[in-house]
Amino acid sequence: MDIQYCCSAKIMTAQQAISMIKKGSRIFIGSGCGEPQHLIHALVSDKNMQDILIYQMLSFTLAQYMDSPDFLRRFALKLFFISAPLRKAAFEGKIDYVPAYLSEIPKLFASNQIGLDVALIQVSPPDKFGFCSLGISVDVTKPAFKYAKMVIAQVNPKMPRTWGDTFVHINEIDWLVLHEEPLLTDIPSIPDVEVAKRIAFYVSDLIEDGATIQLGFGRLPEAVMKYLDDKKDLGIHTQMISDGFIPLFEKGMITNKKKNFMPEKAVATLCMGSEKIYEFVDNNPIFYFRSADFVNDPAIVALNDNMISLSSALEVDLTGQVCADSVGHLFYSGIGDQANFIRGAAMSKGGFSIIALPSTAKNGTISRIVPVLSEGAGVATLRADVNFIVTEYGIAQLRGKSIYQRVMELTQIAHPKFRKDLIEAAKRYHYIFADQLPPPGEDWLFLEEYKRRILLKNSKTMSVRPLLPTDEFAYRNFFYSLKEETIYYRFFRKISIFSHEMAQKQWADIDYRKNMSLIGMVRNKGHKEIMAIASYMAAEDNYAEVAFVVREDFQGMGVASHLLEVLESIAKKNSYAGFTASVLPENRTMVHVFKKRYPQAKTQIDDGGIQIRMTF
């Protein structure tokens, strides 16, 4: 369409269009990298603009003016999300932060609770039918366009034409400003690469092939994407598309083929990054952009089976409360729609949420896992909504767990140097037992090498991993699931009670080198439960004493043999020469397991039973 010919009466310079705005107006400005820079500069430069309220979701250009007393006298800036360039101004009290879910902002516009006199937006040139595209900024810009009394659009050939509910007709725009300029770019700096890589290692372990993922705002989710390149057939339903997605598309990790809701489409509300991602989404039918009241609605999110929400946080307290928008009293970012995606993922069939954060801040001087949130910190996500928390030290699963269990899970993934203090604080708050031992102050990344997945004779998959302090309740449930005879074979005596003190003693001596305990777990109705435990403990002459207990319904399926093999590999790494074992004469099955793996094993019968010595 020849815009000069068909719309000549609407075409103005930026200065002329801005002059149409009245004093005291409430103005919405398009979001993020899609904001109309040329119109913003014209707005600020017009000295007739007085007592103007500006609403914006993500702001960049206005950061240039926040130190100007003249600007601050004439304009009041209200932000739904505080971008990095505006943080300084926010800390100085120059910005009015509006904590609101992005998905509900359109309703605020529609109800006139936040009335809009003017919308300044940026669009692509119209097609032959007169439709312009909002391109990379649909989010809350489309609703603002709909409900504002006057719309001024910067028509920029650099703005991509994106697919989805992104189009506005030129007849719906009041004034057109033709101005070409490069779009803003936003490439987040990568945080500590080693920390990000380790967090991604654990996140990747939770994400299965065919999942649909959402990635929240922030540097960490962007960094994590670099390490998801071993996945297959991922789908996308997210707030923002960024450069980190491109390699996953190009390498075929993201196909959207397994999505049950809007299959074949990567659903999003906005795009931010480099010119490369803008070129990638331009006229690309893979993408479907729509406003936040649709994409971020938890009921819509939940329509995706196997939906996984990945977002970040500033700090998490020991009960699972998450702060994501402030550092104490200082507003730092925004709540976005973290809670909505977390709830949507929880309602999804097979879905769940992950909150990832480094264990420390300020060069390792403070812990992000804290006894209580900092004074003034806002709770972005309630403790009842949180599922997985991930740091570079592991995974904590909180959903459905008690405060005691949450304390132990979170302390276990805190930085080792803060674990003891966290346990002591939890004791003061009466969250945990007074005699609770803290997790060892050690980095347990090496334990990942000990994990196995083993297919059993009954076609079930057994996950094998080291026993951890957080397994106390699962261990207790395992003990009480055993028959009296099985317990007697393991402990050589009758035990009817498995107390907290016994559990403490069980793992207190585990150092995962000299002494080791492994658990075998199988899935049962959506969760995993322990069905076997295998241990070794230092004995004499560089040998380790080994012992097993397998739940009755899994006996005879090769469980003990598999666990013995894994224990041996660990013992060898820790320079042991072999195993010893004490077995009751009537426990012929266990004797058979040992002799099958170690045909040259030496046996000796004494008053206590059969003593077996097995050299590797």
pLDDT in tens, 358-370: 999 999 999 999 9
Chain mean pLDDT for the chain? 92
Q: What per-residue confidence (pLDDT) applies to 187?
A: 84
Is the confidence at residue 507, as pLDDT, over 80? no
Task: Say if pTM beats, i.e. exceeds, 0.85.
Answer: yes
CB atoms within 10 A of CB 430: 9
Tokens 């937006």 sit on residue: 121
Gap between the Cα atoms of 175 and 7, Å rounded: 9
Residue 342 has pLDDT above 80, yes or no: yes
- Only one residue has tokens 């910190």, namely 377
> What are 21-67's pLDDT values in tens digits?
999 999 999 999 999 999 999 999 999 999 999 999 999 999 999 99
Q: Is pLDDT above 60 for 492?
A: no
The pLDDT value recorded for residue 491 is: 59
Confidence of residue 398 (pLDDT cuts 50, 70, 90): very high
Average pLDDT over residues 374-378: 91
Mean pLDDT value across residues 198-207: 90
Per-residue pLDDT, 508? 63
CA 425/CA 414 separation, integer angstroms: 14
Torsion of CA 55, 59, 61, 63, to 10 degrees: 100
> Tell me, what's the pLDDT at 605?
86
Structural domains for the chain? 3-178 (3.40.1080.10), 193-428 (3.40.1080.20), 450-615 (3.40.630.30)
Strands 578-583 and 609-615 come out as: antiparallel
DSSP per residue, 225-294: GGG-TT--SBEEB-SEE-TTHHHHHHTTSB--TT-SSSTT-EEESEE-S-HHHHHHHTT-TTEEE--HHH
The alpha carbon dihedral of 213, 195, 252, 395 has a sign of negative
Per the model's pLDDT, the better-predicted residue between 526 and 401 turns out to be 401
Name the band, by pLDDT with cuts 50, 70 and 90, for residue 526.
Answer: low
Q: What percent of the chain has pLDDT over 70?
A: 96
Cα 253 to chain centroid, rounded: 19
Backbone angles phi, psi at 124, to 5 degrees: -80, 165
Torsion angle in degrees (nearest 10) through CA of 134, 138, 140, 146: 50
What would the pLDDT profile of 252-275 be if each residue is shown by its tens digit? 999 999 999 999 999 999 999 999
Q: Tell me: pLDDT of 505 over 90.
A: no
pLDDT of 274-316, one tens digit each? 999 999 999 999 999 999 999 999 999 999 999 999 999 999 9
According to the model, what pLDDT value does residue 343 have?
A: 96
For strand 235-236 and strand 175-178, is the pairing parallel, antiparallel, or unpaired?
unpaired
The pLDDT of residue 121 is 98
pLDDT average, residue stretch 439-452: 87
Section 171-180 average pLDDT: 96
What would the pLDDT profile of 94-137 be if each residue is shown by its tens digit?
A: 999 999 999 999 999 999 999 999 999 999 999 999 999 999 99
Q: What is the chain's length?
A: 616
The Cα diameter of the chain in Å comes to: 106
How large is the C-alpha radius of gyration of the chain?
Answer: 30
Q: Sorting pLDDT into bands at 50, 70 and 90, what band is 607?
A: confident
**Reported confidence tier of residue 435, pLDDT bands at 50, 70, 90:** confident
Whole-number Å distance between alpha carbons of 301 and 292: 11
